[in-house]
Chain A
Amino acid sequence: MDKMKEKEIKIPENIIREILLRLPAISLFRFRCVCKDWYQIIVDSDFSVSHIQKSISALMIDFGIDKVGSYNLEERTKKARDLADSFRKQHKFKIDREDYASLQYSFLPDYHEDEEDTEDPWMD
């Protein structure tokens, strides 16, 4: 694994971005402390917009709930709220919809006034 270090392969930032875009939100919060470059990429507002667009059903974030199966509902709800709240604060998004039962939230950019598709993208 550390061979990459030995060979001093420098992975270009565009590749790191592409990989990070494909991670669930919870991993992105954790990986902020990998290094300063990653921190900058992840907190960048353009990145969060791209990340949201990439996530399933365009505006829905899946919190990786398969990992929290052992928690009771209260814990899960609190976790989901914390996550959604940090996300909203740090990326200037407003919560468009929340669903505690399935722990799914959808976000809309706060500055985006003429949202084309106001239909709930994941009701059906």
Chain B
Amino acid sequence: MASSSSSSSTQVKKITLKAADGKHFEVEEPVAMEMETVKSFFVGNEDAMKDMVVPLLNVSSEHMPAILDFYRNHSEFRKRTPPPPAEEVKAFNEAFLENKSDEQLMEMIMAANFLNTKELLNFLTEAAANRIKNKSVEYVRAFFGIENDFTPEEEARIRAENEWAFDGLDED
């Protein structure tokens, strides 16, 4: 699915990223520079770019292809004139999320957070919010693996104060 719009310039510089489990990924420089964590690696060190491998200690290789796919497509969307129709962007975004489990989504959010990539982080946290917004408290605890640390009395009191917010939920 990766776009081939940048293939016209054969001289695009590549940067090698190394995932937590040691796998290497060759990434076009502009795509890699979308990630602040990668970018900061080169600040004041521009000569190093050619052959240095950037270690990404907290990102498993499982999610790297999807993350790179997201950035390749979105940077192509941004560059295009006229801008792509909203439906095209929407279709890409929906397809991107379609087969991701809740667990995969959260792992990707952690990776985006570590990579400090705003656009992807915004997109994924929005997706997580959409998955939980109409769900019950119990569902949300399971979703995030959260232990309820309220006493039954405390929880009952908070629920009573916010009673009207518990109607019309989706099924778990």
Contacts and interface: CB of A to CB of B under 8 A. Distances in A.
Interface of A: 1-5, 8-9, 11-12, 14-16, 18-24, 26-27, 29-36, 38-39, 64, 67-68, 70, 79, 82-83, 86
Contacts of B115: none
10 contacts: A1-B102, A3-B103, A19-B109, A19-B125, A23-B129, A29-B164, A29-B165, A34-B144, A35-B149, A68-B167
A34 B110 contact: no
A1 B158 contact: no
Contacts of A30: 137, 162, 165-166
B56 interface: no
Given A1-B103, A2-B142, A22-B125, A34 B148 contact: yes
B150 to A, nearest CB: 6
Interface of B: 102-103, 106-107, 109-110, 113, 121-122, 125-126, 128-129, 132-134, 137, 140-150, 155, 158-159, 161-162, 164-168
A35 B103 contact: no
Contact of A11 (B121, B133, B140, B144): B144
Given A15-B109, A19-B128, A64-B133, A35 B162 contact: no
A20 B146 CA distance: 15
A52 to B, nearest CB: 16
